[in-house]
Structure 1
Amino acid sequence: MTYDEFYNNLGSNTGNRDLETYLLALLNLVEQARKQSLSADLLSNLLVDAFISEPKKFNIEWLKIIEAPDEKGFINSKTSSPSGGEYDYTVAVIKFQIAELHKMKGKQLDDEYKYFGIDSETGNRWYNFDPDSILECGMRCYLDHGDNENNHHEFEVSWKTLGNLLEMGRIYE
């Protein structure tokens, strides 16, 4: 699957779910797929299935998370996880974003101008607040920062790709 094909596939499989619920469902699916190598097809399936899959129960401990995970800290660390630091990084990104959205309910998320960008109470910047826009903008960031010729090549992914996609989607306008 090329970058362009992956991007086009995202737009054709959307649902109607708030971002926090979507991410809780995605986390549940990611945890089930933990031992698998992440391919573009599996990533696409996870992102699509999260629109209709059962969400994981929110864990109040996640509210202690106040900073976006540092990819390098996870990738370079020794880990006992069978999927490695890249998987752990992605799970940390998902939990961070869930916690942030949970904290912003009834506050920043009620701002009618939020799509111009808002800061969470922990000082993290957000531009996208629904599954469609976070996935669209995350993938647009991949496409816009590569060369156009590269977009027609195979989209090589790893577990880190999912974490990066979500984080780029959060901050990319």
Structure 2
Amino acid sequence: MTDKDLYNRICDLQATDVSLETYLLSLLKLVEKEKSREDVPAELFLQILQDAFTSEPAKFNPEWLKIKKAPKENPNASGYDYAVAVIQFQISDLRKMKGKQLDDPYKTMGIDSETGERWYNFDPMGNLECGARCCVDGGSDENEYELLDWGFLGQLLEMGRIYE
């Protein structure tokens, strides 16, 4: 599966009317079920993205509100840890913006959260599509995705958050 294939498959996901926060909570629960996998087959990866639209969400952990910055990839840490940190950060940041920045009618032009992080996409499909679009725009379409490291999920979500 190339960058363009991945982008097209993500665009073909059957989205439901669920908030990005709820989607991320569901995604977190699904990812945690697969924790033992170091690499994820591309088809399972896409199925997890699809299932997060309708799966039971994880419970919000108030400790996540202490997260002050988006996580940075660490070559010494696992891709799973990075992906989970990104999901927790995004959930926390969205929660902090409720009733504030998220009420801005021009938020899709870009807003900064109280953590100073920039956001452009506020719904699951917008986040996923822009993250995948970033892969296409930044790649040579020579990347092949048969197995994905969990870190790719973290990158996809972060690119989705900031890619216009």
TM-score calculated relative to the size of structure 2: 0.94
Structure 2, unaligned runs of 5 or more? none
4+ aligned runs moved over 4 Å, structure 1 = none
Count of residues paired in the alignment: 161
Letter in structure 1 aligned against 2:29: N
The CA RMSD measured in Å over matched residues stands at 1.2
Aligned to 1:81: none
Q: Deviations over 1:59-95 (max 9, x none)?
A: 00000001010102xx314xxxxxxx11001000000
Q: Deviations over 1:24-44 (max 9, x none)?
A: 000000000111231211110
Cα distance in structure 1, aligned partners of 2:6 and 2:17? 20
Kindly state the Cα deviation for residue 2 of structure 1 after the two structures are TM-superposed.
2.6
Aligned to 2:126: 133
Aligned to 1:80: none
Kindly state the Cα deviation for residue 3 of structure 1 after the two structures are TM-superposed.
2.2
Cα distance in structure 2, aligned partners of 1:155 and 1:142? 12
Aligned to 1:91: 84
Q: Is 2:10 the counterpart of 1:10?
A: yes
Aligned to 2:25: 24
Q: Deviations over 1:2-58 (max 9, x none)?
A: 322221111222221100000000000000011123121111011110000000010
Letter in structure 2 aligned against 1:168: M
TM-score calculated relative to the size of structure 1: 0.89
Structure 1, unaligned runs of 5 or more? 78-84
Kindly state the Cα deviation for residue 154 of structure 1 after the two structures are TM-superposed.
2.2
- Could you tell me which of 110, 118, 123 is aligned with 2:116? 123
Aligned to 2:40: 38
Aligned to 1:52: 54
For 2:40, what is the secondary structure of its paired residue? Answer: coil
For 1:165, what is the secondary structure of its paired residue? Answer: helix
For 1:16, what is the secondary structure of its paired residue? Answer: coil
Greater relative CO, 1 or 2 (CA 8 Å, sep 6+): 2
- CA contact under 8 A between 2:82 and 2:151: conserved in structure 1? yes
Cα distance in structure 2, aligned partners of 1:43 and 1:93? 16
